[in-house]
Structure formats: C-alpha cells, structure tokens
Amino acid sequence: MESINFGIIGAGRIGKLHAENILNSVKGARLKVITDPFLDEDWASNLGITVFGKDHKIMLDDPEIDAILIGSPSSEHANQIIECARAGKHIFCEKPIALEPELIRSALDEVEKCGVKLQVGFNRRFDPNFAAIKQKVANGSLGVPQIIKVISRDPAPPPPKYISSSGGLFLDMTIHDFDMVRFLSGSEVEEVHAFGSVLIDPAIGEAGDIDSAVISIKFENGALGQIENSRKAVYGYDQRIEVFGSKGTAIAENNTPTSMVVLNEHGTVRDKPLYFFLERYKAAFVNEVQAFVDAIYSDKTPPVSGKDGLTPVLIALACKESLLTGKSIKVMYN
C-alpha cells in the first residue's frame, strides 16, 4: 500500500481543516474524495481534490478508498460509521459519535463485526504539551497521580440556537476535558459532582443549558480531579492542565503567538493566549490523523478507540444528572 486513500464526509470548518492537513501535512495519506450537501466546489477544485459531490455514498463503493474521515454534523456520525464499516472502510470520526449511548454502542458493534479500524477525534491528546505531560505520568516521573486539574474556557459563547442541538455544555465542550482527565490519570472516572450556572448569556439559560461549570471528580484509583469550564474568556482561548503527583507536578500553560515579555515602568506585558481552537490545536489536528494513518499501516489499534468515544459521553450524562439533582453521581458504564 503506497498511501492511504481518504474520503472525507463533511466540508464545514473541521472537514476543510482535515482536508488541507491530509493534502499538505499527513505522511502516507492521499485525499481523493470529499462530499457535503452544501459543498463549496470552487474550494475543492482549487485544492486539487479530484472527486467531490453532495452525497457521501459515492465513496462507499469506491474500491480505492481505504479510510473515511467523518466530519459531518454529530447527529449523522453513528449512522455514517455503520455505513462505512459495512463498506469495509477504516474510520476516523469526529467527536461525539452520538449523544445517546445506545446509538454509540450500535455503531461500535458494527465496527467490531466488520473488522475495520475506528479512531475518535479527541485531538487534545495529540497536543505536544499535553502529550508531554502524559509521558511524564507514564514513565513515573511524577510518581502516583493524585490531583488532575483542567481549565478550559472558550473566547466566546456559541449562538443559543446551537445549544439545543449540541447536547449542552457537558456533551459539547466538556467532553474533551473528560477525555483528557482519563488520558492523563490512567484511570476511569468513578464519581462526579457538577455545579453550573448561567453567568454569561441569559439566552443560553433560556435554551436550557449553562455557560459556566466546575466539576469535581473521583477516579477509580482514588485520585481526584477538577474541571473548570466557561463559555467566555475575554482574553482568548484558555487551555491549561496540571497533574500533581507524589513526586512532583507537571503544568501545561497556554500557547501564545510569541513568548516575548515586555517589562517597563508601567508593568509587565505578554501576548494573550491564541484566540481559538483551530490555532491552539493546529499541530494536534495533524498529529491525530497521522497516528490514525500509522495505525492502519502497522495494523495496530488506533490510539483513541471506540470505547474512548463512548466513555466521555457516559461521564457527561452523569454530570447532567448531578447538575439536576445536586448530588454526586456514580458513572454507569454498563
């Protein structure tokens, strides 16, 4: 196999990003097909993509397509995973697979039955800073992890109409953080207690969601965790992590456009954090697809499995229950 031939379903913001990365930055990969009901055909043609259209089924029957990257709306993911699996295509799917655990399990059952590979797009695992902390945990440099802290704040809230279809803050935004605490701790989440408020945009509350949250976590190995979320940080995209262990702590701070610091009679000035996720996680988006391609070449299990796609949804649902009841909730994995 000279290269992994890709098709991409969905040419919105994330689909276009993956397309350009496969064309320009991912080794051993070739992009042949991209589809979207509202496809910008001029964009596809200018990139040199040879096959494009409105209906993703054109790639299911193409024997040259080895793998399909799903970047369509979340409500389509589970059904498209099943279609791709039945067509014998390896699958990279953006998160979440679905908002309902049973839909996710049905899709994962089909993947296993068909014997294809599936990777879920939790890109933050592949951020160089976060991956370096994971390595410190894995090699024992920090000792036994005791407390995991994640701060994740967006620069601006989404429109209220987006909230109703996204599943809400826990399933849309915090789902990345649930994956990160599992990834960094090396343990499953046993119990959560979620607190949330509407502090930024009353329209988000009217849509039935919250825009600010703090989540306390107890892991199965006894470690503790905390996730802090906000839909609006006026200074940019705030993404920080700390793992505190018995031998020390590791901290990943925000990425900034430059590391320059200006000191003068008025004070100290440095750059704000990078403004949004496309900038902040630019390298991570390339690295995750490269890892998927490498897994296909080496016939190994992709580094972010179907289970990794299901588990954060189960944690998110436990958080929603905790918010409604005011109680600590055990995460139900069965």
Model confidence pLDDT, tens digit, residues 54-108: 999 999 999 999 999 999 999 999 999 999 999 999 999 999 999 999 999 999 9
What DSSP character marks residue 125?
Answer: G
- The CATH homologous superfamily for domain 4-116 is NAD(P)-binding Rossmann-like Domain (3.40.50.720)
Q: Identify the three-state secondary structure at position 213.
A: strand
Domains 4-116 and 125-283+312-330 share a fold: no
Nearest to 86 by CA among 120, 109, 119, 55: 109
Architecture of domain 125-283+312-330: 2-Layer Sandwich (3.30)
Strands (E), 10-139: 29-35, 51-53, 67-70, 90-94, 118-121
Q: What is the pLDDT of residues 162-171, one digit of tens each?
A: 888 889 999 9
Is residue 209 within 8 A of residue 169, CB to CB? The reply is: yes
Q: What is the pLDDT of the chain when averaged over all its residues?
A: 96
Instruction: Indicate whether 223 pLDDT > 90.
Output: yes
| Confidence check: pLDDT of 38 > 80 | yes
Q: How far apart are CA 157 and CA 152, in angstroms?
A: 13
pTM: 0.94
- The kind and range of the H/E element at 162 are helix 160-166
CA angle 211, 214, 215 (to 5 degrees): 125
Report domain extents, the chain. Answer: 4-116, 125-283+312-330
Q: Is 242 helix (H, G, I), strand (E, B) or coil?
A: strand
